[in-house]
A and B are shown apart, each in its own frame.
Chain A
């Protein structure tokens, strides 16, 4: 799946990028992940890609296709913006499929089996669990500040109060991480996540994996062959 994502983000053709997006949607349907959840997660990446779509037509030189007052939109800029937008959306959807169709711990342990260092995998795993905990602690700090009449303003006092709140959060996190470490050590943790017997891939798994590789290569082949696809 990573190979397919790489293949899509390196495409230079609008037609192929559209095909990449269609393939991503295909995987999304097959994965049976909640569309609502995917739409929610897509919100921020789309907001990130949107400026490319809106700004590039006016900043890239080329054949003018429309003009707005003294600004003119170029064909090349519009196509480039659209290309970036399509590739970005396709990659984010594929990432959702990768992350959403099995428990995060399975994905993380699979990364380890693929050669990602154990310490990095542990950081992913524990961060995933604890980022939420930190968020809760920060919200409770903000609630407690509001309960005591604090109102956010654009002044140095607000900056100081926020700095103190984040500082306190870091200190609490340090104390919590020490307690968590104790809790892990008390259950036999020795710095390494235990090996779980790897599930063997059967013929059907191999066929699915090969089909994804085939799609990744197929998307690249027109470019390699020098065929023009816009």
Chain B
């Protein structure tokens, strides 16, 4: 099987000596999606920075079969798009257009290609009308989408997102989720770190529970059904799953655990039919 990301025995300590990651090992297949869950300070962002070669620890990180080492960094950065938690960190140029074109220009593409890719990314994120605006004049939700556009314009095969929906209002959150779903469907490998356990079932097939070490890794629904495991890490079950798990423990429900609104609706309808 072709893997998009292979991390083996990765360890990283901060300059002060604090261990951030210890012997982290996991693999993600091409086109797959992984949700990185863990409490604050678990090393999620640190792990993500390794995937783009921005931090270098001991152990090995491979992207699409190639090891992330100094000689391969340009190759890796062309394939791994990163979206940082705070969009202000990512929007550095005086206009949104310049920002979205920044990556493709660094790749040495000719101006025609740069324009094509930048326009595609702006259209995909619904920001084309705001291309000439200064990033400072955008709302927070628009800035988040703009930051995503700056990564998308490089047409990455792997998209790494650090807290992509944090501080977003429900509408902006829905927009970002819809966009990521469409990217996932188009074959982009997605890795996202989040505290939002309700987001993970919508976007990730697999979950890696991290707390400096890999606590657990497996199918999203399998990990998110483990109340005790999640609570030990300061997390909680997704809303619908938590509710139906309580019903199950009270003996009122015995079906499949729902994780999304649609699944919960079906489960309720099935249960009420069964009662009749």
What is the interface of chain A, defined by CB distance below 8 A to chain B? 103-105, 125-126, 128-130, 132-133, 176, 179-180, 182-190, 194, 196-197
Chain A residue at minimum C-beta to C-beta distance from B112: A197
Establish whether residues B103 and A187, one from each chain, have CB atoms under 8 Å apart when the complex forms: yes
Inter-subunit contact B107/A185 (CB<8 Å): no
CA distance in complex: A133, B110 (Å): 32
Q: Which 6 A-B pairs have the closest CB atoms?
A: A188-B106, A194-B105, A187-B103, A179-B89, A186-B82, A183-B90
In the complex, are the beta carbons of A105 and B54 less than 8 A apart?
no
A133 vs B150: C-alpha distance when bound (angstroms) = 19
Do the beta carbons of A128 and B94 come within 8 Å of each other?
Answer: yes
* Interface contact B106-A187, CB-CB below 8 Å: yes
A187 with B77, Cβ < 8 A, contacts A105-B94, A129-B136 known: yes
When A129-B135, A183-B82 are in contact, do A189 and B106 touch as well, CB less than 8 Å?
A: yes
CB-based contact A105/B106 at 8 Å? no
Instruction: Give the distance in Å from the alpha carbon of A60 to the alpha carbon of B154 in the complex.
Output: 64
Please give me the residue from chain B that is nearest to A103 by CB atom.
B95
B12 on the interface (CB 8 Å rule)? no
Does B86 interact with chain A (Cβ within 8 Å)? yes
Contact yes or no, B102 A133, CB < 8 A: no
- In Å, the complex CA distance between A196 and B78 comes to 19
Within 8 Å by CB of B84, from A133, A182, A190, lies: A182
Is B138 at the interface (CB under 8 A from chain A)? no
A125 / chain B contacts, CB cutoff of 8 Å: 93-94
Scan residues 63-82 of chain B and give those whose CB is less than 8 A from a CB of chain A.
Answer: 74, 77-78, 80-82
Is there contact, CB below 8 Å, between A186 and B54?
Answer: yes
Pick the residue among B52, B88, B98 that contacts A176 (CB under 8 A).
Answer: B88
Not counting A103-B95, A184-B102, A188-B106, a sample of 5 additional A-B residue pairs whose C-beta atoms are within 8 angstroms of each other reads A129-B92, A183-B90, A186-B82, A187-B82, A194-B102
> Are the C-beta atoms of B92 and A184 separated by less than 8 Å?
yes
B residues within 8 A CB of A132? 136
Residue of B95, B135, B154 touching A187 (CB-CB under 8 A): B154
Please report the C-alpha to C-alpha distance between residue A104 and residue B135 in the assembled complex, in whole angstroms.
13
The distance from the CB of B120 to the nearest CB of chain A, in whole angstroms, is 16
Taking a contact as CB atoms under 8 Å apart, the answer to whether B82 and A104 are in contact is: no
Contact of B78 among A105, A183, A185, A188 (CB under 8 A): A188
Which of A104, A133, A182, A186: most chain B Cβ within 10 A? Answer: A186
Task: Kindly list chain A residues whose C-beta atoms are within 8 Å of the C-beta of B106.
Answer: 187-190, 194
B150 and A187 contacting across the interface, CB-CB below 8 Å = yes
**Also in contact, A188 and B49, with CB within 8 A (given A129-B92, A179-B84, A183-B82):** no
Q: Are B94 and A104 in contact (CB under 8 A)?
A: yes
Q: Which of A104, A130, A182, A188 has the most CB of B within 10 A?
A: A188
Some 27 contacts from A to B, beta carbons below 8 A apart, are A103-B95, A105-B94, A125-B94, A128-B94, A129-B92, A129-B136, A130-B92, A176-B88, A176-B89, A179-B86, A180-B89, A182-B89, A184-B102, A185-B52, A186-B77, A186-B82, A186-B151, A187-B82, A187-B103, A187-B154, A188-B78, A188-B106, A189-B106, A190-B106, A194-B105, A194-B108, A196-B111
Question: B124-165 vs A: 1/0 string, CB under 8 Å?
Answer: 000000001011100000000000001100100000000000
Q: Which residues of chain B in 252-275 are interfacial with respect to chain A, using CB atoms and an 8 Å cutoff? A: none
Q: How far is the CA of A186 from the CA of B74 in the complex (A)?
A: 9
In the assembled complex, which residues on chain B have CB atoms less than 8 Å from the CB atom of A103?
94-95, 98, 132
Give Cα A196 to B77, complex, Å: 21
By beta carbon, the residue of chain B nearest A104 is: B94
**Chain A residues, CB < 8 A from B150:** 187
CA A21 – CA B82 in complex, angstroms?
A: 50
Nearest CB of chain A from residue B156's CB, rounded to whole Å: 10
B34-60 residues at the A interface, CB under 8 angstroms: 49, 52, 54
Q: A188 and B103: CB pair below 8 A?
A: yes
Q: When chains A and B are docked, how far (Å) is the Cα of A83 from the Cα of B94?
A: 36
Question: Residues of A contacting B93 with CB < 8 Å?
Answer: 105, 125, 129
CB of B217 to closest CB in A, whole Å: 25
Q: Give the complex CA separation of A169 and B226 in angstroms.
A: 42
Q: Are B89 and A188 in contact (CB under 8 A)?
A: no
* Residues of chain B lying within 8 A (CB to CB) of residue A128: 94
Task: Point out the residues of chain B lying under 8 angstroms from A104, CB to CB.
Answer: 94
A105 contacts B82, C-beta separation under 8 Å? no
Q: Point out the residues of chain A lying under 8 angstroms from B89, CB to CB.
A: 176, 179-180, 182-183
> Closest residue of chain A to B73, judged by CB?
A185
Measured between alpha carbons, how far is A73 from B153 in the docked complex, in Å?
Answer: 65
Report whether B78 and A182 are in contact in the complex, using a CB–CB cutoff of 8 Å: no
A interface footprint on B177-193 (CB within 8 Å = 1, 0 otherwise): 00000000000000000
Interface pair B52/A186, CB less than 8 Å apart:
yes
